[in-house]
Structure 1
Amino acid sequence: MSRGRRRLGKPAGVDTWADVRDAASYAGEDFALFARDAAEALSQLPDGCINTSLTSPPYWAVRDYGHLEQLGLENEVDDYVERLVKVYRELYRVLAEDGTAWLNIGDSYFNKSVTVDGKPPRAGWKRNKQLSMVPFKVALALQEDGWWLRNVAVWQKPNAMPSSVTDRLTNTWEPVFLLTKSERYYFDLDAIRVPHTTDDAAERLRAERGNAAGKAKGQDELRRWLNSPRHRSTIDGLKDVERRPNAPEAVELASYLRLALKSQGRSIKWVAEQLDQPFERTRHYFRTDEIGSRLPPPQTWLRLKALLNLDDSYDEAMAVEVGDNVFRNHPKGRNPGDVWSIPVAANRQDHLAVMPRKLAERALRATLPEGGSCLDPFMGTGTTGLVTRELGGRFVGIDVQAEFMRNYLRASGYRGK
């Protein structure tokens, strides 16, 4: 996420929730279920009525769920990818402008006999035992269709099923993609922070001892590596510095400044002249590549605000505080990172691929605003729905398998439509 975005993420579709429920096969106060094809069901939902999505669709060429319209049994992986892109095109429409979508897809190995003149092809992925790379084919296709791909989280399975293969490694992880509808989106990092592994007191002790007792003494290579904001107190000793602890990524602010520049009909050269700074220095504030992008210094930022008539979207994020240069852990914990070690959920008789509750909880705590809505276009056993409702949100579930929904409703004690 981008920092300073919590003003986004207002509950979407509150005014249209009655329309969503009326179109559903089954509905309650905080859920609406559609027993039909995902693309068809999504086409009946109003624009911008959903805040976030979390799903794990049937994987390609892995399992037969016994339904003629099911996803995953396409002869060609390109057909599978195309069907998913069509579903996500409709999902894009029904998401709020600051909406997000979590997508978990596993891979499979190609095991169909493809021959050229009676022999396996010399090159290409359509050869037996080739890893199909389906998740990444889907992710790339979604990027081409307009989605922002913000993360590839690794779902590491500490209790992954053992494999009998002897000529490759056992598969113990799957990707979970975080997709967004636009550059600015709702993401509550504080809700999913985890305990720190470092100690503030130890950092201060090293700082107070200064360079004489610094851990880089006499080790030039280590000293260069440690010459970073986190460790500079060890190298330089204790001193006061200015800092912006909530500053956004430079590329994010650059995109914002570019939009403002365009709306004002001005050029970077004009900005450089007004700031009385070299053009080459000024252009870094507007560069959207990670290598060249730079945050403007505090005083330059204030002048840019006035020059480009900027709103207050980044005031909090760009605020400066003065204090000592000791690294401090965030009081609410650290960013959990993109490797999630979460045990596989036990299979059930009605479904052989159940999403773990812990995976759903981590994803939705970050992207479901208070009172917001979540959609799962391939709901299966309904883990996404259960977690959404426990977090106080509204759930929209879709699946071609009506039996999955009836099981979900029975487990929820459903009485109604």
Structure 2
Amino acid sequence: MKADETSTAWLDQVYCEDALAGLSRIPDGAVDLILTDPPYNLGKDYGNASDQQTVEEFLQWTERWIDAALPKLKDNGSLYIFTTWRFSPEIFVMLKKRMTMMNEIIWDRRVPSMGGSVRSFSSVHDTVGFFVRRKDYYFDLDAVRIPYDAATKKARSRSIFIGAKWLEVGYNPKDLWSVSRLHREHAERVDHPTQKPLEIIERMIKASCPPGGVVLDLFMGSGTTAVAARRTGRRFVGFELNGEYCRITAERLAALDGAPAPSPEPATAPRAKPRARAKAAAPDTTTINSLE
């Protein structure tokens, strides 16, 4: 069914179930942006075996969820996918067969220069692919421009620069994003092993999802995509296998609304070892669905 043929009950929800099983809840052509951070297959413990597959199994599974998710995207929609350099070549080729690649974004995690391998160069970045369906994709550069500092503006004070829009609104973010990973002392940090900073997720949403539009995250984790969507005036929908992560997401969303976190139905999803994936409900618009 198309988006205008169904109800909108699926909006502002994170379903505690496998995305491959639950994507049928979302109408085709209903989503403005797919923004997702799937398991990297590096052996991390998310309370299940999703990050512990063989290379062949992992790539086959990745292709399955890509093919299931893309029909949900509008014709002018976009996709951002976090991945690791170990698998980005294969995953990007999969997506290039289906979409147009606009950028490879490097997230410099600002890892301290200590420790690491003694047999190779230390890996301190994540790779992000930015893909679109067609040439007239939605993209709001002004929403994510980076302001110039006072010294730069002063240096550009000659008459030839007067009235220049770019000088007032700032410059285009480059494809190298230097944003610190979340340490234990960061206020937004929750109990999840690979939580992404809101700064990064909000930049993607502001640039590639119109106000009031819909963001889909197939691997919601600690709920950062849902929180970023709520903070920026967008709708969201997502999936998460781990019931504990769903609880964390609910708490994060409730904190935004100044309301007590709802009590999700008992989830049968395995619980992470202390980590958890979450999605939450706003007072009247968000619900956490435990369906396993």
TM-score by length of 1: 0.55
How many residues matched?
250
Partner secondary structure for residue 370 of structure 1: coil
Q: Which runs of no fewer than 5 residues in structure 1 stay unpaired?
A: 1-11, 22-30, 108-132, 206-323
- Structure 1 counterpart of 2:249, one-letter code: Y
Partner secondary structure for residue 137 of structure 2: coil
- Find the aligned partners of 2:165 and 2:154 in 1 and give their Cα distance: 6
1:172 aligns with 2:124: yes
What's the offset of the Cα at 1:16? 4.0
- Find the aligned partners of 2:230 and 2:238 in 1 and give their Cα distance: 12
What's the offset of the Cα at 1:65? 2.0
Larger Rg computed on CA atoms:
1
Cα 1:366–1:16, aligned 2, differ >3 Å: closer, same or farther?
farther
**What's the counterpart of residue 235 of structure 2?**
394
**What's the counterpart of residue 180 of structure 2?**
343
Cα 1:373–1:349, aligned 2, differ >3 Å: closer, same or farther?
closer
| Alignment counterpart, residue 96 of structure 2, candidates 143, 151, 173 | 143
**What's the counterpart of residue 81 of structure 2?**
103
How much identity, in percent, do the aligned residues show? 27
TM-score by length of 2: 0.76
**What's the counterpart of residue 6 of structure 1?**
none
1:36 aligns with 2:27: no
1:46-87 Cα distance to aligned partner (Å, 9 max, x none): 11111112111111133132325x2x2111x23212211221
Q: Which runs of no fewer than 5 residues in structure 2 stay unpaired?
A: 255-260, 263-282
Larger relative strand fraction: 2
Contact 1:99–1:181 (CA<8 Å) still a contact in 2?
yes
1:348-394 Cα distance to aligned partner (Å, 9 max, x none): 67421111111111111101211111111001000110010111111
Contact 2:38–2:219 (CA<8 Å) still a contact in 1?
yes
Cα 1:354–1:162, aligned 2, differ >3 Å: closer, same or farther?
farther
Cα 1:161–1:176, aligned 2, differ >3 Å: closer, same or farther?
farther
1:241-279 Cα distance to aligned partner (Å, 9 max, x none): xxxxxxxxxxxxxxxxxxxxxxxxxxxxxxxxxxxxxxx
- Find the aligned partners of 2:201 and 2:57 in 1 and give their Cα distance: 28
- Find the aligned partners of 1:404 and 1:359 in 2 and give their Cα distance: 20
**What's the counterpart of residue 73 of structure 1?**
52
What's the offset of the Cα at 1:328? 4.7
List aligned pairs for 1:325-404, cutoff 5 A: 328=164, 330=166, 331-346=168-183, 350-404=191-245
- Find the aligned partners of 1:65 and 1:58 in 2 and give their Cα distance: 9
Cα 1:325–1:194, aligned 2, differ >3 Å: closer, same or farther?
closer
**What's the counterpart of residue 258 of structure 1?**
none
| Alignment counterpart, residue 159 of structure 1, candidates 92, 100, 111 | 111
Contact 2:106–2:125 (CA<8 Å) still a contact in 1?
yes
What's the offset of the Cα at 1:104? 0.9
